[in-house]
Amino acid sequence: MDDVAVVVGASGGIGAALLEELRDRGRFARVIGLSRPDLDLTDPAGIARAAGHVAASGAPALVIVATGLLHGPGIEPEKTIRALDPEAMARAFAVNAIGPALVLKHFLPLMPRDRRSVFAVLSAKVGSIGDNRLGGWYSYRASKAALNQIVRTAAVELRRTHPRAVCVAFHPGTVATGLSRKFAKTGLQVQQPPEAARALLDSIDRLAPEQSGGFLDRFGAPIPW
């Protein structure tokens, strides 16, 4: 089988570690890393083109979307609702929810129908509505909650066409990357990217079709919606 693995967000801390670990494990004919400018989550046409390029290399039996926007120029996690800014909120949704949804749109049809395949996105535990007891971070929380619903809905549809496929959202834990470094609190278990990548890929290897549509931690345990 000429199955390929794809990591979207391969230039980020976790994405780069996932790419390296997948190549070290040698289970796929090819491992493809996609990041800007080859794939920009805010460019729908670019996402479609990237999917076409991947399809020319083989069937994507594993797709991992390892992206996320918590802060950046003009964007910081809100401490209070008074800090909401519509442009910053729209940007968070564009990167954290709409972009991954478009990756789903263009990559799911390419995945093999006659054998196991996995589509995994990196979400965040703060996107859990049931686990929200601290408040704040409106845009990031809401965009990741939206991502979880998109994954859940896609899993329902995928079951009809790809019965052996798994579509899940993972919380990778707190990882020492540019996204989380300035917000990591004392006492949290902070992992290095290679450690997080190994745990995530081990959990992906164990996934069964009945887990499709789930929201899981890096060890495969369910997280409340």
Task: Let me know if residue 149 belongs to a domain.
Answer: yes
Rounded distance between C-alpha atoms, residue 179 and residue 84, angstroms: 20
Please tell me the predicted confidence (pLDDT) of residue 224: 96
Residue 120 lies in a domain: yes
For residue 219, the one-letter residue type is F
Instruction: Name the stretches of the chain with pLDDT < 70.
Output: 1, 179-188
pLDDT at 62: 98
Strand bridging mode 190-191 / 174-175: parallel
Task: For residue 15, give both structure tokens.
Answer: 């994405």
Q: Which of 166, 124, 160, 164 is nearest to 144 (CA)?
A: 124
Q: Is 222 part of any domain?
A: no
User: What is the per-residue pLDDT for 120?
Assistant: 98
Q: What is the pLDDT of residue 172?
A: 97
| Crossing angle (nearest 10°) for helices 13-25 and 193-206 | 60
Give residue-wise pLDDT tens across range 93-112. 999 999 999 999 999 999 99
CB under 8 Å to 35, separation ≥6 — which residues? 8, 9, 10, 11, 12, 15
CA Rg, the chain, in Å?
17
pLDDT the model gives residue 2: 80
What's the CATH number where 132 sits? Answer: 3.40.50.720
Secondary structure of residue 27 in the 3-state scheme: coil
Residue 225 lies in a domain: no
Asked if residue 223 belongs to a domain, the reply is: no
CA atoms within 13 A on the CB side of 123: 35
Looking at the structure of the chain, the number of domains it has is 1
Residue 224 domain-assigned (yes or no): no
Query: Residue 189 falls within a domain, yes or no?
Result: yes
Match 């460019």 to its residue by tokens.
Answer: 43
Q: What is the pLDDT of residue 153?
A: 98
Range of the domain at 61: 4-217
pTM of the full structure: 0.94
Residue type, 77: P
